[in-house]
Amino acid sequence: MEISQEGLQTLAAVLREGTFDAAATSLHITPSAVSQRIKALETSVGRVVLRRTKPATATPDGEVLVRLAKQWELLLEETRAELIGSGTDEDSARIHLPIAANADSLATWFLPVLAQMHHEHPVAIEVVRDDESQNTRFLRSGEVLAAITSDPLGIRGCTTRALGSMRYLPVATPDFVARWLPDGPTAEALSRAPMVLFDRNDYIQRDVLTTLAAQPVSPPISYIPASTEFHLAVQLGVGWGAVPEAQIADALDAGRVIPIVDHHVDVPLYWQYWKLSSPILDALTELTVAAAAEHLVAPPGPLR
């Protein structure tokens, strides 16, 4: 089996751009040439690698090849940057580094890590943002080389490092509590009290609600799909919500919000990254682990 770099690059372009025509434009070739390269790749590996839909999607075998394409691209860019050296235009040699992160980490402790990486290394980091429970799919599909996840189960070909836990506190404004939860978060009160969720995949808020209510309840929900705006919505009395302790500490100290219950939720986070001999990826990993040790609750026990 021979896998050409040209075929891998073309496959990655089709999946990135969504169609053969768009991939052709990005690669500066004809759509016919794109089709020929994909057919040649499929013939070489003996597998169908693309679903010819709009947008095009990878088959499970195609995902394996996309991961290889991304890894090869990173190693090639690192080699090019090392050969070019520091005597040329620094910006032209920056290495594209796609990763996935959750919004709360970006808003609290992870963005300074990315800033330090940009200061110390010739990188251009692309962050794919989704819930920490969803980020492993970006690793499986080959879209990213590393991700902050809540999944301790390692993906084949990846290394998993425990980072620690992000602590969430269920809070609301004093006026909100007086109006909606005067006798505490009873099931009846929680069924009526407005609640703020990040989005429809926000399992953290739903887990807190399940913990507080002795029976299933369906409160009115407002969706605020941005980390900073989410905790501001809670401070403005839109509803109650579980907010990262690091984000809400000042508002708690000032009395703008109060806990609705003496309870917190710790969400374990993990750093998963592809096993590559990559100095850039190793550097990002060490900075991420160090920052997490400073800002997160102590990590869970060793992974098996």
Q: What is the pLDDT of residue 261?
A: 93
Q: What is the pLDDT of residue 83?
A: 66
Partners of 101 in beta bridges: 129
Asked whether the predicted pLDDT for residue 125 surpasses 60, the reply is yes
Asked whether the predicted pLDDT for residue 38 surpasses 70, the reply is yes
Q: What is the pLDDT of residue 85?
A: 60
- Note the helical H segments in 121-263: 136-141, 174-180, 187-192, 203-212, 227-235, 245-254
In a domain, 260, yes or no: yes
Determine if the peptide bond prior to 268 is cis (ω within 30°).
no
In a domain, 214, yes or no: yes
pLDDT in tens, 139-185: 887 788 899 998 887 777 789 999 999 999 999 999 999 999 999 99
In a domain, 213, yes or no: yes
pLDDT in tens, 231-269: 999 999 999 999 999 999 999 999 999 999 988 999 999
Averaged pLDDT of the chain:
87
In a domain, 19, yes or no: no
Asked whether the predicted pLDDT for residue 82 surpasses 80, the reply is no
Q: If we measure between CA atoms, which residue out of 192, 220, 196 comes closest to residue 208?
A: 196
- Work out how many domains the chain is built from and give that number: 1
In a domain, 244, yes or no: yes
Q: Which residues contact 12 (CB under 8 A, 6 or more apart)?
A: 66, 69, 70, 73, 142
Q: What is the DSSP letter of 240?
A: B
pLDDT in tens, 99-111: 999 999 999 999 9
Asked whether the predicted pLDDT for residue 86 surpasses 50, the reply is no
Residue 190 sits in a domain whose CATH number is: 3.40.190.10
* Domain span at 262: 166-267
Q: What is the pLDDT of residue 1?
A: 66
Q: What is the pLDDT of residue 45?
A: 84
pLDDT in tens, 196-235: 999 988 888 988 998 888 788 999 999 999 999 999 999 9
In a domain, 41, yes or no: no
Count CB-CB contacts under 10 A for residue 158.
19
Q: What is the pLDDT of residue 178?
A: 97
Asked whether the predicted pLDDT for residue 299 surpasses 80, the reply is no
Asked whether the predicted pLDDT for residue 300 surpasses 60, the reply is no
Asked whether the predicted pLDDT for residue 88 surpasses 50, the reply is no
In a domain, 93, yes or no: no
In a domain, 191, yes or no: yes
Asked whether the predicted pLDDT for residue 301 surpasses 60, the reply is no
